[in-house]
Amino acid sequence: MDFEGLTQDDLANVCALNRAWLRLHHDEEQGLRQLPEKRLERLADAPFLLFSFREQDDRLWASLLENGRQQDLLVEGQPVSEEKQALQSVGLAFLWELARRNPYVARVVSGAPLHWCERVAAVTLVRMLDRATRCQVIEPRFGDASPLHKRLFRRGGSALREMRVFAQIGALQAMLTNAELVPYRRLPAAACRMPQPAQQVADEV
């Protein structure tokens, strides 16, 4: 069975979301404030989302989306700004549509396990966004102190295309291979197909 890879429209949406995230996150991280605008633009061109929706947190998403579950995990210490809440809603809407149309590409750009894609695709967009507005699920994909984050933000916006692509694809591969994957009956078949879209992204970046 053939799987459709990442399209130019998908990649354009990922890059637009990344630019919005970098603008919002710019004032929160000293390392970003030190990067020139051109470098941030090139970093935003990474073929995956630079932020996460805690897709690996199965308990959180079960509590958010399943009927009859108590909302006991939804108390967040920090209030969500209107700008970040808006980006969270737009980003989730994009992944919801992608999970319904092509869950394999949704996993490539977000690192989400397939069961997360199926869970969000099984509910209406209105229901998902209504539940997700009750807490902040958006957060940086990589910890600020992690070597991967430092390497990506140091080299992923380089003016040298080869260095930039190497850093971005390296981060993408780490995101896909180091995630805590929940056992899933179709995951091995999907994993066998992953190098193909990843290589296609490398050619397009």
What string of pLDDT tens digits covers the 205 residues of the chain?
Answer: 456 778 999 999 999 999 999 988 766 665 566 677 888 899 999 999 999 999 999 999 998 887 645 455 444 445 567 888 999 999 999 999 999 999 999 999 999 999 999 999 999 999 999 988 878 899 988 877 778 888 888 888 889 999 999 999 999 998 888 754 343 334 333 444 444 444 444 444 4
C-beta of residue 44 within 8 angstroms of C-beta of residue 15: yes
Phi, psi of 140 (to 5 degrees): -60, 145
pTM of the model: 0.78
Number of Cα atoms under 13 Å in the Cβ half of residue 96: 17
Angle, helices 37-44 vs 8-25, to 10°: value is 140
Q: 3-class SS at 139?
A: strand
Taking a C-beta distance cutoff of 8 angstroms, is the pair 205, 165 a contact? yes
Decide: residue 178, CB within 10 A, 0-12 exposed, 13-18 middle, 19+ buried: exposed
